[in-house]
Chain A
Amino acid sequence: MNIVEEIIYPVLQEFKETEGLDIELSPELVIFGDGSEFDSLTLVRFIIGIQEQILDLTDKTVVLATPQAMSRSKSPFRNVTTLAEYIEELFAEAE
């Protein structure tokens, strides 16, 4: 499964359209931290959206914002690429 194309981009596209976010979909798009277009509530809703997209496509219940993830020195939510790598990691752990 292409995590960026099938999971992350569709959710970002939906947010772009419904929330009017001024973003260009790219692997480097900043999601969390300096340079992000997401305010805190939009970020929470985006994470919920990603979890839901994963559930819809794979029937897997994944929790993204775990204490372990939040305490990493390099946030997995930094940009599209780091988020995709993190989701891949969670999929591998679940197998």
Chain B
Amino acid sequence: MDKKVTLITGTSKGIGKELVHYYVNKGHIVVGCSRSPIDWQLDGYTHHLADVSNEKEVLQIFKQIKKDYGRLDHLINNAGIASMNHTLLTPLATVEQILKTNFVGTFLFSREAAKLMQKNKYGRIVNFSTVAVPLKLEGEAIYAASKAAIVSLTNIMAKEYAELGITVNAIGPNPILTDLIKGVPQEKMKALINAHAIKRYGTFKDVINVINFFLKEESDFITSQVVYLGGL
């Protein structure tokens, strides 16, 4: 089988949905998941309903990938949630939900993906961090902490999986106009954009450009890297 098999999490909308369309058009076999059903369909794309932090549901997705394709080439851990709030006002339930979706989900998918990828001694894992980590943004403590954990996970998995032919990298997008930031005041967004070397919102094209670089076969010497868009 020549077609690359690409698994993307959090594909119901936003960047995840864009990534699905992009990689299907590029000729990949794309598998994805989200908690809620999708209202669109695409040839070459298979969707699973799953909570990324639910081990049983995650294992079921990998069981199906193994049965259908026998291998996995790429994993893009896109699924993520954010909640902006002062820590003094943040309920524990919010903390647990953010950590589960952002961190536990990335861990579970990466672990299972690496089990499949190591059979072919080839794989690319791309995780999602955020510029909120290096910028240490007030009001984003829990979100940033969950994404800082993803940086650590990326760095250590990169070492653990290196001998298996699997690279692990992360992208740290700057603000992109998606649902994730729709509740953030304009002034806050402006200040955030101004903290970057290149002062503009990110686009899907910017994200795809970095992911493509990480996924390339020639990028087999690129691992444990975190690329922050916009320059920090």
Contact = CB atoms under 8 A, between A and B. Distances in A.
B65 to A, nearest CB: 13
A61 B59 contact: yes
Nearest to B111: A48
A94 interface: no
B118 interface: yes
B13 interface: no
B163 interface: yes
Main secondary structure of the interface of A (DSSP, over half): helix
Interface in A33-50: 41, 45, 48
A45 B59 contact: no
Interface in B61-83: 63
Nearest to B115: A48
Contacts of B118: 45, 48
Contacts of A48: 115, 118
Contacts of A45: 118, 164
A52 B59 contact: no
Nearest to A59: B63
B163 A41 contact: yes
Interface residues of A, number: 6
A55 B63 CA distance: 10
Nearest to B161: A41
Interface in A15-69: 41, 45, 48, 52, 55, 61
B153 to A, nearest CB: 17
Interface in B141-196: 163-164
A55 to B, nearest CB: 8
A84 B118 CA distance: 24
Contacts of A61: 59
A52 B163 contact: no
A52 B118 CA distance: 13
Nearest to B163: A41
Contacts of B164: 41, 45
A36 B163 CA distance: 20
Interface string B7-49: 0000000000000000000000000000000000000000000
A61 B115 CA distance: 14
A52 B164 CA distance: 17
Nearest to A18: B119
A45 B166 CA distance: 14
Interface string B104-118: 000000000001001
A47 B35 CA distance: 31
A74 B165 CA distance: 33
A63 to B, nearest CB: 10
A94 to B, nearest CB: 15
A47 B59 CA distance: 17
Interface of B: 59, 63, 115, 118, 163-164
9 contacts: A41-B163, A41-B164, A45-B118, A45-B164, A48-B115, A48-B118, A52-B115, A55-B63, A61-B59
Given A45-B118, A52-B115, 7 more contacts: A41-B163, A41-B164, A45-B164, A48-B115, A48-B118, A55-B63, A61-B59
